[in-house]
Amino acid sequence: METNPHVTLIMFSFNQEEFIEESVRSAFAQDYSNLQIIISDDTSSDETFAIIERLAEDYKGSHQIKINRNEHNLGVGRHFAFIMEELADGELIVACGGDDISHSNRVSRIVEEWLEHGKPALVAHALEEINEQGEVFEGGRTIQYRYQDHSLLSNPTLALQDYLKNQMPVRYLGAAIAYRRDTYLRFGTPLAFPDFEDHVMFFRALLSEGAHYFPEVLVQYRRHQNSFMAAPSKRKIVKPGEIFAPLLHKGETVRPNFVNDYRLHQLATQQWLDLRAAIQQGLTAVDYQIVEELWAMLIARQKFLLGNQGITLKSLFRRFRNFILGTSNTNVRKRIELNYVEPLKVVLYGAGQAGRNALSRLSPGFQVEAICDSNSELHGTRVEGIQVISPQTLKELSEDIDSVLISSVFYYEIKSALMDKLGISEDKIVRLPHKVITLRK
């Protein structure tokens, strides 16, 4: 059994000259042997990086030390992506901030739990909160960890559903988690670059190899007036990712009092991209409730930003043209256009009344490419403008779609036929909720 995998401890720093030395020394004091330590500074304007340089130069231990100072400020999202793709090389990544203090056995205990529980995508542990003077106090995160239901992690689908309903505060803070580097690489660069790397990795973990929590305090999480969570209104917004080109045109900005709303929209966008990637890679099956919840969140957040003029637009005409005009892949509804993300491509099984009901109520997170039915008399006809195809044609299309949605009360019979006769993967077959196929509009 593997006992000593290569681990990277990453420390983010930015204008933390008061706390950085204690944080760096706690990283250097780790008792785990096969350890790379990366301290990456996001262009601090104070003495933070000078302190890092001095401590790194004086270090005489056995850990591999790598320090970095970005040429210009990247912001949390891009800084995280740069570290993961250009600097870190460990199999497991242990994260911390430049103001937090890790216990000397933190990495060792994380590795023990990670190996014991089958190398899940993410490992989280307990923390204690300290103030600027280093005094322990019982704050909101301490109380959260005491009362939140950690047992949900045993069922990733339930954990995902619960998380999407109650995303804030994040279940497990970045200062008290570790994650597999290959989990990050499997999903790729977070193109929306949200400033919530802990949210990103927790969500990716639930979509892949799951997460594990153990209630041992291994880090002191510092709360102070300049910490990330303390003063969100003071944080500047960096250049948005290319994915938001249709949302933020050249020269347009986000109003200061809407910065947090924009960041939450970045997060929701990234979660959709990751969900879609996980489905297409076969890491997770389509769950109608999760798709409906996440797509509705995307629409709501975009409408809020646009409707409240959180985004300053040069042209009201362009705003109208790009965002307010409704489109519909089923020609039976109008919807806000999210033209920087793609819905899931699906085939709806059932051209009868249940199928028509589904078309009128289906979440726009699904793009219906065709309707399949076993009744040969319907093949080649159209329902609400969508072509009805045969089961054989569905078989030919199965590799190009994300899911087959069953709009019939005969779900099990249809599922059996799709799997046994057409060879369609069980993960691609989704049962639509009863209300979707029985309620008429």
The dihedral of CA 280, 286, 292, 293: what is its sign? Answer: negative
Cα 233 to Cα 237, 259, 300, 351, distances in angstroms: 10, 7, 22, 52
Burial class (CB in 10 A: 0-12, 13-18, 19+), 168: exposed
211: part of which helix (H) or strand (E)? strand 211-222
Q: What's the pLDDT score for residue 263?
A: 86
255-264 residues labelled b (16+ CB within 10 A) or e (exposed) = eeebbbbbbb
The fold of the 344-438 domain, in CATH, is Rossmann fold (3.40.50)
Distance from C-alpha of 92 to C-alpha of 77, rounded to nearest angstrom: 19
- The domain ranges of the chain are 7-230, 234-324, 344-438
Can you give the length of the chain in residues? 441
Q: What's the pLDDT score for residue 232?
A: 44
Residue pLDDT, tens place only, 313-322: 443 334 433 4
Smallest CA-to-CA distance from 11 within 33, 183, 119, 22 is with: 22
* pLDDT < 50 stretches in the chain: 229-235, 238, 313-336
128: part of which helix (H) or strand (E)? strand 122-130
Q: What's the pLDDT score for residue 303?
A: 80
Q: What's the pLDDT score for residue 236?
A: 52
Tell me, yes or no, if the pTM score tops 0.85.
yes
**Cβ atoms within 10 Å of 300's Cβ, excluding its own:** 13
**Mean per-residue pLDDT over the chain, rounded:** 87
Residue 325, classed as helix, strand or coil, is coil
- The answer to whether 19 and 27 have CB atoms below 8 angstroms apart is no
Distance from C-alpha of 85 to C-alpha of 264, rounded to nearest angstrom: 24
Burial class (CB in 10 A: 0-12, 13-18, 19+), 296: middle
User: Which class is domain 7-230?
Assistant: alpha beta
